[in-house]
Amino acid sequence: MIRQPRTGHIPAVLAAALAVALLLGGRPAEGQSAEVQEQVVLENDTMRVSLLVFPPGTASGEHVGLDPELGIVLEGELTLVTQAGREVLGPGAARWLPALVPHDARNESARPLRLWVVVVKR
């Protein structure tokens, strides 16, 4: 059996993640909190799909992911801060972050931010 390089599996992984997102409808567990909430909806050897809810004024804090990730904004506004600058993303916007890129995800608005994050594991 000939195995394809792992990068050949990324489109299928992302398609699966988006299917999960559509099936779940993007709804987190009920309840409010002043901290960023993470609901992991799928995790296996190749990926992790999480729904993050940022109340107004919260942030992830600058961090570096060891694996690449895709972020998709569902509701609200995401302020993404990287070494390349500051970018405000609204509903429907998606951004790919390669591994090892320092970044901070912030909700600087007065409304909750809901964000899908798909981590593609190495």
Asked whether residue 64 is assigned to any structural domain, the reply reads: yes
Confidence of residue 122 (pLDDT cuts 50, 70, 90): confident
19 falls within a domain: yes
More confident residue, 39 or 32: 39
Q: What is the CATH number of the domain that holds 109?
A: 2.60.120.10
pTM above 0.85, yes or no: no
Print the domain residue range for 100.
Answer: 6-26+41-120
Number of domains in the chain: 1
How far from 103 is each of 16, 53, 68, 70, 87, CA to CA, in Å? 25, 17, 12, 13, 11
- Would 13 be classed as within a structural domain? yes
| Residue 97 counted as domain residue | yes
